[in-house]
Structure 1
Amino acid sequence: MAIRYPNGKKYTPAAVPKQPEKSALSFSNRGKTLEDELNDSNEYYNSRGIAVIHKKPVPIQIVNVRYPARSAAVITEAYFKTASTTDYNGVWNGHYVDFEAKETRNKTSFPLKNIHEHQTEHMRQVHEQGGIAFLIIRFSLLDRYFVLPYRNFSDKWTRMTEGGRKSITLSEMEELSVELTPGYLPRLDYLRALSSVIDSERTERQES
């Protein structure tokens, strides 16, 4: 199926990153991507009334459809109606949460080229309206996960736009983020990590 962006350019999907070596994976998580893990975690939250958080659907404009069978339709060409914002949003404990999820195979830093300007702008708007905007970043070869609040990410994004480093080093990630320890149910309990982020942002807004 050919999918095109609003400017008419053809969408070329990025290569799917290889999974970490088996030694770096737990048996229950073997072969799962960060998206899989987050979807499972969100299902856990929802089923227990903890939060309602879902992956955002991407709106598309269907152009061509073929019908190989009377009861089946196959989309052969479509366009993205708008550029996507972030991956997930929802409500938790009275808070609006909105976040992007990214994986990198880099062992020493997270390349900022993985984030688009319109996504950064969206997170800024959410943050300024009192929502909780953040990123969940997985260093896949290290099997390490980080919750990076928007305000900390914003500083490094500004550094890049002003001609500085185009990545966030692992040591900076450790300093600026809350590291997640993968578990069983839920696999990634990122809402627990957000508690400290909320307390910090509440104090920041009171002092500003």
Structure 2
Amino acid sequence: MIRYPNGKPFRKAETTAPAAQKMSYGNRGQSLEDDLNETNRYYLAHDIAIIHKKPVPVQIVKVDYPARSAAVIREAYFRTPSTTDYNGVWQGKAIDFEAKETKNKTSFPLSNIHEHQMQHMAAVARHGGIVFFIIRFSILARTYFMPYEAVVPYWEAMQKGGRKSIPLRQFETSGTLLPAGYMPRIDYVACLRSLESEETRHD
């Protein structure tokens, strides 16, 4: 069992849908993390962006050895609270984003996001970094690019006792649907270019 620094057990977020419901085309059989890792390798190989998944430091406290050649971790703790899943640089700008999957068909549960992650993203945004979420509705086979700013009102409302999820329609209006591709699999940099173009028009 892996635990957070405060002692609470770590429960992995929903990741993949049943085999028959997974994304078709280039993403068949892939989790969101797999798709993003392949996308980032493509970006790196083609000198488009340098984005990496952050390693999470874990302190192992209990290991069993059922066989001489095998070890089984029975208990471990995250040394520090995690921030976001991915970070790096694109065209001289810091990139920081969180990737999540849900099996819900009509909304994304905010319980999948931790308060320290929102605090971290707010800090990066204050310093001029580009911050966003990539959310996959697994059963619907839809993946959205969602700006951090579009999530904040729902997060703040939840903190005040309001709705605990973001409806799918909000992703359809405030987010961008990322089509399944081959090379790259999920071209989220295209959304970054769109954001930059909008900022240029407003300047």
Report if TM-score (shorter chain) is over 0.5: yes
Which moves more between the two structures, 43-52 or 13-22?
13-22
Structure with greater contact order relative to length (CA < 8 Å, sep ≥ 6): 2
Specify the code of the residue in structure 1 equivalent to 2:173: E
How far off is 1:189 after superposition?
0.3
1-structure distance, mates of 2:99, 2:37:
11
Preserved CA contact (<8 Å) 1:42 1:53: yes
Paired residue for 1:56? 54
Counterparts in 2 of 1:155 and 1:20: CA distance versus 1, 3 Å: farther
2-structure distance, mates of 1:150, 1:101:
12
SS of 1:21's equivalent in the other structure is helix
Paired residue for 1:109? 107
SS of 2:189's equivalent in the other structure is helix
Specify the code of the residue in structure 1 equivalent to 2:91: N
1-structure distance, mates of 2:155, 2:123:
15
Counterparts in 2 of 1:73 and 1:84: CA distance versus 1, 3 Å: same
Paired residue for 2:192? 194
Preserved CA contact (<8 Å) 1:132 1:198: no
1:72-124 residue CA offsets vs partner (Å, 9 max, x unmatched): 76654422101111110011111110000011111111111111111111111
Counterparts in 2 of 1:183 and 1:14: CA distance versus 1, 3 Å: closer
Which moves more between the two structures, 50-59 or 71-80?
71-80
Show the 5 A alignment for 1:1-208: 2-13=1-12, 17-19=16-18, 21-22=20-21, 25-65=23-63, 68-69=67-68, 75-200=73-198
Specify the code of the residue in structure 1 equivalent to 2:150: N
Counterparts in 2 of 1:18 and 1:64: CA distance versus 1, 3 Å: same
Give unmatched runs, 5+ long, in structure 1: none
Instruction: Figure out how many residues of one structure are paired with residues of the other and give that number.
Output: 202
How far off is 1:59 after superposition?
0.8
Specify the code of the residue in structure 1 equivalent to 2:54: K
Q: CA RMSD in A?
A: 2.4
How far off is 1:17 after superposition?
4.2
SS of 1:155's equivalent in the other structure is helix
Q: Normalising by the residue count of structure 2, what TM-score does the alignment of the two structures yield?
A: 0.87
Which moves more between the two structures, 170-179 or 38-47?
170-179
Preserved CA contact (<8 Å) 2:17 2:138: no
1:138-183 residue CA offsets vs partner (Å, 9 max, x unmatched): 1111111111111111122112222222211111111111221111
How far off is 1:195 after superposition?
1.6
Which moves more between the two structures, 83-92 or 58-67?
58-67
Preserved CA contact (<8 Å) 2:26 2:181: no
Percent identical among aligned pairs is: 54
